[in-house]
Amino acid sequence: MTRTRNRWTFWCKSAALPLAFLFMGAAWFGHALAQRAPLTVRWGGVPAIENMMFTFIAIDRGFFEEEGVKVVGPTLGGGNTIRDAMAAGEIDFFDTGTLTYLVGKEKGLRQKIIFENFSHQIFSLFVRTELKGEVQRVRDLKGRKIAVVGPGSASWAAGLAFLRKDGLTQKDVQFVFLATDPTVWMVGFERGQIDAGVIWEPMNTSALDRRTAYPIVDISDPAVHKQQIGPRASSMVMVTTEKMIAENPEAVRRVVSALKKAAHFVHTRSAKEVAQVAAPRFKMDPALLERVLEKRKMHYSKTGGVSRSGLAVEVDLAYNAGVLQRRLSFEEMVDSKFSGVEP
């Protein structure tokens, strides 16, 4: 009886360690599985190449899928429309111009910047070619029609900043509101329906190629950027709601991780490779997108961390243009625990 009991005790002791590891492994696997359970998020954005590049790359290269994120959308449109869709609870994340975000923040929308997409300003001011003998600087646009996306949009706020810089106000011009489709803008220039437009790539390059319009504020020129804006500007960002951050921080963490992978892809691949992946999403000729990226790729954020100095520039632009009634603090606008902070 003693020998039998001893054998049983020995077997239990011998089996205890591997069994413990087995149960620990099962528990770890269950925890890991729960951590990687698919999460569905609803996305929106303004379809500018400086704005949506990381999102489109993350979708098409499978980076969201690697992080266990299923993206519904993205819903595309003007910045103020998409911003208000988030306020109505229709989307969870959106890519937008920072100036559009600031307009919403001024209204009290409970939204936070969690990722920086582009670290230079994207908007230039172009004038239709027929006016070249009459319009050489911003103040020459007094009494003329200037196209922007819409009231409260980033292009609208940038336009106000350009006007103010040369001594004009919104009352001195007529703003015309156009859809984000570049074709609409090119037709507007060519038919004389607009005199000028606050435009972004690829419209800038297309307008020059077609000799449809010429720049009086060319933001791709480093000297102009420094004079008009400063050395850098956190112009394009990704935003979510304070509710999403509080209730589903794991979804935010996974989304940011996928976008960081996309940023790495953009900065470690050639302009041609990036263009080949992204061009279909932007409905662009890959060769045209490649040309644009050769000029602008360096200005995409490398880490997604939000720049304090770059965001301060955007706040100053908005405040000086009368878009903001007070200068918002970095902490009011940004939740930095997911992507970090840059100088």
The pLDDT score that the predictor gives to residue 154 is 80
pLDDT one-digit tens code per residue, 297-333: 999 999 999 999 999 999 998 888 777 899 999 999 9
Strand partners, 306: 341
The pLDDT score that the predictor gives to residue 77 is 87
pLDDT one-digit tens code per residue, 284-300: 999 999 999 999 999 99
Burial class (CB in 10 A: 0-12, 13-18, 19+), 10: exposed
The pLDDT score that the predictor gives to residue 35 is 52
pLDDT at 22 exceeding the cut of 60:
no
β-pair type (39-45, 196-199) = unpaired
pLDDT at 48 exceeding the cut of 50:
yes
Query: Do residues 46 and 82 touch, judged by C-beta distance below 8 A?
Result: yes
Q: Look up the pTM and report it.
A: 0.83
Contacts of 154 (CB under 8 A, 6+ apart): 46, 79, 96, 97, 98, 99, 100, 123, 235
Instruction: Give the DSSP letter string of 309-325.
Output: HHHHHHHHHHHHTTS-S
The pLDDT score that the predictor gives to residue 237 is 97
pLDDT one-digit tens code per residue, 162-209: 999 899 999 999 999 998 888 899 999 999 999 999 999 999 999 999
pLDDT one-digit tens code per residue, 115-168: 999 999 999 999 999 999 999 999 999 999 999 988 877 888 889 989 998 999
Terminal-to-terminal C-alpha distance of the chain:
76
